[in-house]
Amino acid sequence: MLSVNRTSFNNFKTSTKPLENSLASKNNRLKIFYFNDMHGSTDTISGVIEAAKNFNKNSNQHDAFIFSGGDNVSGADVKKNEMVIDIMQNQMGVDATSIGNHEIDATSDGFEEFNKGHNIDFVATNVKFDDDSPMKKIAKSSVIKEENGTKYGIIGAMPLDFKECTKKSAQEDIEVMDFDDTIEALQEEIDNLKDQNIDRIILLSHTGYENDKKMAAALDGVDIIIGGHSHSVVDNAQHGENIVMSKSNQPVIITQAGENGKYYGILDVEFNPQGIISKISNQLTLLSTSKSPNLEYIKEQKMGKSPTIGTIKEIETMPENRRRKPHAWANLIVDSMKEELGADCAFLNAANIRKVPTTGKLTERDVTESVPMKNQLVKAQLTQKQVVDAIKQASKESLGHDTGEPGLLFVSGFTYKVDDKGNLLELNFVDKKGNKTPIDINNPSEQITYTAVLDSFTIKPDGEYPHLAPKSSYEEFNFDKDKTAIDYIKKMQSLDNLKFINDNRIEIVQTSQMLQLNNNNQKFLDLTVPKAS
């Protein structure tokens, strides 16, 4: 186990003394174990589970909670999601969590189903549910937790971009408020808690790090924000960064722990007698994300043994930022979409890939877990202009964004080249014989069309890739890309020697160094010019 950036104890008013010697009462001290955006990634979360167990064993000397910033699960596999919630409750002892967009991948009905028999508190303050929504039975505007006679108020915020980052079926009975209404709803709940003499308030937020900072400054009464959604790695405690002064000029500490179980965090704070944070220590720990035999056993017990497809001998791992870098497994998935449905091309949003299988035995469950969202595939006609506009938009936004939202478009039937700022430099159509035809990216045709395979998420007119919305009727299938991938792999030769290697169909040209040279007005030395005598 490695730890990153060991933190110092941050004292707002006086010089810092060793932590254990500075506490007059254990009720003034609170420790929070936190994580977020695990996405149900059972290949990588074993370290977080074990760390949470250890935290529980050693937390009897002070007030302590385990909180999640949401997206604990992903995809519509209710059995798998139920297993993750069961682990969170019975092995990790999670006290409360926000509701992320992926909690609703299985729709409200699925959310209700995989939470049956569990009592983890889900908090969501900035949302309106239809009267008959199952969410009304589970989601709470706030909860009150008591430790050693001290009461803490827990509120929650769902993602402000809920409509953009979820499929239509997940939105039918849920309306997440915009930023201004979110602030109003959160403040009202804070005031309600204050009226009950609760002056220590924690916000579990799935709105993203930048939104969390804005909310901290706009609210009066929040002490701590445990975040998620942007997958930000927020270590330490720094004024002007993740320590933000509230509307009443009191410190708010904001933190977040990446994604997929790569980190967990421990936030250690001390409150003064007025319930205001006076000292902070915040530390993330970097974990090994190797597959856990124990979790594999649990999966087989809960969901049954998965059929083996073959054996992977060579495959590159998931890139550090899956939204911004192509990789071989993504190419395999998008190729399967095109080939299995007999189309000219296929498109897949990078964020859809949630894991890359490792070398060794490849099961059908490995494939399904790599694309867990359970959308429906569609076959539609797209114009050349739509393709160009979609790739331009996705590349520009993704490579121009720190965390890579919304994500590059993986392609089959095309190759393209962009610079590291996301500017499209070159695009080629590749026919079924492998012949390349260059496309005029500055003047694409609206008459030339391609039969394309996409999924129901990428074709949303109000979604992250609006240019891919079909302009005419399209064919919809009742399965997702895990089926096409499994069928496609099974047809490969040498199933006991599978190799997935990136073919560089998407090329990202690094220009930053050259731009820096130009900005500095540096000139190349021409060694062919003889020196003057």
Q: What is the pLDDT of residues 259-282, one digit of tens each?
A: 999 999 999 999 998 889 999 999
Q: Is residue 295 within 8 Å of residue 282, measured between CB atoms?
A: no
pLDDT band at residue 303, thresholds of 50, 70 and 90? confident
Q: Kindly indicate the confidence band of residue 101, based on its pLDDT and cuts at 50, 70 and 90.
A: very high
Amino acid 519: pLDDT: 53
Tokens 């009950």 — which residue?
196
Structure tokens at 281: 């220590």
Sole residue written with tokens 């899956």: 322
- State the Cα–Cα distance between residues 173 and 132, nearest whole angstrom: 8
**Phi and psi for 473 in degrees, rounded to 5?**
-65, 155
295-304, 357-366, 494-503: which range is least confident on average?
Answer: 295-304
What would the two tokens of residue 227 be? 């975040």
Q: What does pLDDT average to over the chain?
A: 89
Task: Please tell me what DSSP assigns to residue 91.
Answer: I
pLDDT at 352 over 70: yes
Q: What is the pLDDT of residue 158?
A: 98
pLDDT at 290 over 80: no
Express as a percent the part of the chain with pLDDT over 90: 77
Average pLDDT over residues 139-158: 96
Q: Which residues, including other chains, have CB under 8 Å from residue 172's CB and lie 6 or more apart?
A: 107, 108, 130
Mean local confidence (pLDDT), 506-532: 55
Contact 414, 427 (CB under 8 A): yes
Q: Which uninterrupted H or E stretch holds 30? A: strand 29-35
User: Is a pLDDT exceeding 70 seen at residue 373?
Assistant: yes
Architecture of domain 306-516: Alpha-Beta Complex (3.90)
Residue type, 97: T
Output the pLDDT for position 204: 98
pLDDT of 304: 87
Distance separating the N- and C-terminal Cα atoms of the chain: 63
| pLDDT, position 169 | 85
Lowest mean per-residue pLDDT among 78-82, 120-124, 157-161: 78-82
pLDDT tens figures, 114-142: 999 999 999 999 999 999 999 999 999 99
> Within the chain, which residue ranges are assigned CATH 3.60.21.10?
2-14+28-286
H helices present in 352-492, as ranges: 364-370, 384-399, 481-490
> 2-14+28-286 has which fold?
Purple Acid Phosphatase; chain A, domain 2 (3.60.21)
Give CA–CA dist 227/214, Å, rounded.
13
Q: What is the DSSP letter of 350?
A: G
What is the percent of the chain where pLDDT is above 70? 90
Structure token pair of residue 21: 């010697």
Cβ contacts of 283 within 8 Å, gap of 6 or more: 3, 5, 6, 7, 235, 236, 265, 266
Longest CA–CA separation in the chain, Å: 91
How far is Cα 484 from Cα 276, in angstroms, rounded to an integer?
55
Query: What CA–CA distances, in Å, run from 130 to 14, 76, 120, 126, 163?
Result: 50, 21, 22, 14, 16
Cα–Cα distance, 482 to 506 (Å, whole number): 22
Q: Which helix (H) or strand (E) holds 82?
A: helix 78-87
pLDDT at 512: 57
The residue with tokens 């302590």 is 64
Helix (H, G, I), strand (E, B) or coil at 467: helix
Give bridge partners of residue 500 from the DSSP assignment: 315
Q: Which of 346, 347, 364, 348 is nearest to 483 (CA)?
A: 364
Q: Where in the chain is the domain with CATH 3.90.780.10?
A: 306-516
User: Locate tokens 């520009």: which residue?
Assistant: 396
Do 4 and 285 meet the contact criterion of CB atoms below 8 Å apart? yes
Counting every residue written for the chain, the total comes to 533
pLDDT of 48 > 90? The answer is yes
Element (H, E) at 498: strand 498-500
HEC secondary structure over 286-311: ECCCCCCHHHHHHHHHHHCCCCEEEE
The CA distance from 189 to 241, in Å, is 26
